[in-house]
């Protein structure tokens, strides 16, 4: 029973993850990512971590992916058109995939080799343990991440807002040949 | 295992029956009659006593109308959007306890379809999936009004979900558990949560209106500007799915409000009876009579208030409700630490 549920949702997660990267329509990709994340949440439940499962759905599926869809729809991004891509651009992509795959393989191998990693227990994934880790052991890191996000939010707001009169306008890429570094422009282009 | 599964299946069946068979049709009738009452006209009063069979006729109408799929829609997404509306609507109720935990034939039955420790979080997680139906329907319809409705829905739901989640967390703080059954137990022992957390309840209520897309926050549909918003292109039974999901969502959020702030299934000054089926009846009556009052409020507000403008909606969500919710959480946390609650 448990194995069947695991197999079903593991396959679903893998298949929908494939669709995420291969589909040409960004809305379909996002919806596939929804399926991937919900399937992962089911796997978390099977591991005995209903809290992490609920948080996964609540935060990633319920908020972040909705924002993805919001942006896609607001900008009205159509189907992705791939032009003639140079072979050179595939090299970094391949390298990144190899490095990531190698890391996953290395960790899996080390974990299985001599039981280097103990299996997850109910206590380890419980809400108490999670809270203890976040607000006690890793408090500094946790707060720093929070600060980092705050900085990112402020930066995004500054970039997005319209400059007040008398304030510097954001720098725009100038056409070639024109003198650069003119921070202030009297008339809008 | 089999026994527990049987109980869960039975509870789920009862819950679905109540939601689909009773609440949704009755609410359609209540909505139309109350709207008529507020507008000083009789409303549907011909079919059956007080027009009570009108919802039945509506259901038949939805079944037999032509199911139209416009040519320009994104077909797969267009077809799954109504299902995406019903799925979270019909499953979110599973964490609401509708009776006292009891022993039936020597086994613990807690009268919750999914009595998990993650209770409230599971509720919020499932409820947060409801927005996809609106967004997907808006996108797939390939129509600017629908698209605008979908975009509005996504921004609105995210904004108000924050305030809603924060108030829910504040209500959990004095109890110290995510399990809704324990929250009800705490309230039976002390006092209904609405008394110490009146501010939280107010924020919860406003956010609940926004989360269910009811007037004054029905911007995703806004019939005076967007035709019918995200469901403009839907007809027949697919439209009925959105319609039903809206009423079921109202009932589910009302049930959460009742459970968090008004003692859940408990009836004040009356203890639940010992016999298990009487206790179940007691719980269902206790819960749903309070839910009915909430639903009454939903309808009353809908026909009494004008719609917000979109910028007003966003300002209210981010600049009023969110700070209030934060103040509420911090206040409740301090009070809980000081031992006042």
Q: Best of B80, B114, B118 to disrupt the A interface by mutation (most A CBs within 10 Å)?
A: B118
Q: A182: pLDDT confidence band, cut at 50, 70 and 90? A: very low
Interface of A with B (CB under 8 A): 27-28, 31, 34, 41, 50-51, 53-58, 61-63, 66-67, 69-70, 73-74, 76, 127
Q: How many domains does chain A have?
A: 2
Percent above pLDDT 70 for chain A: 78
Chain B partners of A76 at a C-beta cutoff of 8 Å?
147
CB contact under 8 Å between B122 and A70, yes or no, is no
Spell out the alpha helix ranges (H) of B190-235: 198-211, 223-226
- B185-221 exposure pattern, b = at least 16 Cβ within 10 A, e = fewer: bbbbeeebbbebbebbbbbbbbbbbbbbbbbbbbbbb
Spell out the alpha helix ranges (H) of A133-185: 139-160
Chain B partners of A31 at a C-beta cutoff of 8 Å?
77, 132, 136
Residues A146 and A74 in one domain: no
CB contact under 8 Å between A50 and B116, yes or no, is yes
With vertex at residue A46, the alpha carbon angle to CA B117 and CA A5, rounded to the nearest 5 degrees, is 130
The first and second tokens of residue B241, run together, are: 């799915």
Residues A4 and A68 in one domain: yes
Percent above pLDDT 70 for chain B: 95
For residue B79, what are the CA distances in angstroms to A48, B135, B244?
34, 13, 16
Range of the domain at A64: 1-79
Task: Please check the confidence at residue A89 and state whether its pLDDT lies above 70.
Answer: yes
How many angstroms separate the CA of residue B29 from the nearest CA in chain A? 32
* B221-250 pLDDT, tens digit each: 777 787 777 778 888 788 888 888 888 888
Q: Are A47 and A74 in contact (CB under 8 A)?
A: no
Nearest CA in chain A to B161: A63
CATH for A3: 1.20.120.1200
Indicate the DSSP class of residue B190: S
CB contact under 8 Å between A50 and B118, yes or no, is yes
Range of the domain at B219: 2-338
Q: How many domains does chain B have?
A: 1
Chain B partners of A60 at a C-beta cutoff of 8 Å?
none
For residue A129, what are the CA distances in angstroms to A61, A138, A139, B51?
24, 12, 13, 57
Chain A partners of B128 at a C-beta cutoff of 8 Å?
57-58, 61-63, 66
How many angstroms separate the CA of residue B274 from the nearest CA in chain A? 32
Q: B115: pLDDT confidence band, cut at 50, 70 and 90? A: low
Predicted complex ipTM? 0.80
Q: Is B297 left (phi over 0), alpha (psi -120 to 50) or beta?
A: alpha
pTM of the model: 0.81
- Closest partner residue to B77 among A27, A51, A66, by Cβ? A27
CB contact under 8 Å between A127 and B178, yes or no, is yes
Q: Are B164 and B204 in contact (CB under 8 A)?
A: yes
Q: A189: pLDDT confidence band, cut at 50, 70 and 90? A: very low
Residues A1 and A75 in one domain: yes
Q: Is B139 helix (H, G, I), strand (E, B) or coil?
A: helix
Task: Please check the confidence at residue A185 and state whether its pLDDT lies above 50.
Answer: no
Average pLDDT for B301-323: 87
In this structure, is residue A64 part of a structural domain? yes
3-state secondary structure B256-293: HHHHHHCCCCCECCECCCCCHHHHHHHHHHHHHHHHHH
Q: Best of B83, B117, B129 to disrupt the A interface by mutation (most A CBs within 10 Å)?
A: B129
Cis peptide before A29 (omega within 30 of 0): no
In this structure, is residue A42 part of a structural domain? yes
Percent above pLDDT 90 for chain A: 24
Phi, psi of A184, deg, nearest 5 = -120, 135
């Amino acid at each position: 029973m448990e194995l069947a549920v695991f197999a079903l949702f593991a396959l679903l997660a893998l298949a929908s993850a494939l669709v995420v990267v291969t589909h040409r329509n960004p809305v379909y990709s996002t919806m596939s990512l929804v399926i991937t994340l919900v399937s992962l949440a089911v796997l978390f439940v099977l591991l005995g971590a209903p809290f992490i499962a609920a948080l996964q759905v609540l935060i990633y599926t319920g908020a972040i992916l909705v924002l993805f869809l919001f942006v896609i729809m607001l900008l009205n991004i159509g189907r992705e058109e791939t032009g003639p891509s140079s072979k050179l651009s595939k090299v970094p992509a391949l390298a990144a995939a190899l490095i990531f795959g190698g890391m996953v393989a290395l960790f899996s191998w080390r974990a299985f080799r001599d039981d280097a990693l103990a299996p997850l227990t109910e206590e380890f994934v419980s809400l108490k343990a999670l809270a203890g880790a976040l607000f006690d052991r890793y408090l500094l890191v946790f707060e720093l991440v929070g600060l980092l996000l705050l900085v990112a939010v402020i930066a995004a707001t500054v970039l997005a807002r319209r400059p007040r009169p008398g304030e510097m306008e954001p720098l725009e890429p100038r056409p070639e040949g024109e003198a650069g570094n003119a921070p202030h422009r009297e008339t809008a282009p | 295992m089999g026994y527990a599964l049987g109980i869960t299946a039975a509870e789920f069946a009862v819950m679905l029956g109540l939601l689909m068979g009773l609440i949704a049709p009755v609410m359609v009738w209540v909505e139309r009659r109350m709207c008529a009452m507020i507008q000083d006209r009789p409303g549907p009063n011909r079919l059956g006593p007080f027009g009570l069979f009108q919802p039945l006729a509506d259901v038949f109408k939805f079944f037999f109308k032509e199911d139209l799929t416009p040519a320009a829609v994104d077909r797969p997404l267009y077809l799954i959007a109504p299902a995406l509306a019903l799925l979270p609507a019909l499953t979110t109720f599973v964490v609401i306890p509708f009776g006292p935990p009891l022993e039936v034939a020597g086994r613990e039955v807690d009268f919750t379809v999914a009595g998990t420790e993650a209770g409230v979080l599971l509720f919020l997680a499932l409820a947060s999936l409801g927005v996809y139906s609106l967004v997907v329907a808006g996108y797939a319809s390939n129509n600017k009004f629908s698209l605008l409705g979908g975009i509005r829905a996504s921004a609105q739901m995210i904004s108000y979900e924050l305030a809603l989640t924060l108030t829910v967390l504040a209500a959990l703080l004095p109890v110290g558990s995510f399990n809704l059954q324990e929250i009800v137990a705490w309230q039976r022992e002390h006092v209904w949560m609405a008394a110490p957390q009146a501010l939280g309840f107010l924020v919860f209520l406003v956010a609940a209106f926004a989360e269910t897309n009811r007037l004054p926050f029905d911007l995703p549909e806004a019939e005076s500007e967007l035709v019918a918003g995200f469901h403009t292109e839907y007809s027949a039974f697919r439209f009925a799915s959105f319609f039903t999901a809206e009423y079921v969502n109202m009932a589910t959020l009302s049930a959460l409000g009742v459970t968090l702030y008004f003692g859940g299934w408990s009836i004040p000054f009356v203890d639940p009876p010992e016999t298990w089926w009487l206790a179940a009846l007691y719980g269902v009556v206790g819960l749903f009579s309070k839910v009915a009052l909430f639903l009454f409020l939903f309808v009353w507000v809908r026909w009494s208030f004008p719609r917000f403008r979109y910028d007003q909606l966003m300002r209210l969500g981010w600049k009023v409700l969110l700070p209030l919710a934060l103040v509420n959480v911090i206040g409740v946390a301090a009070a809980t630490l000081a031992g006042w609650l």
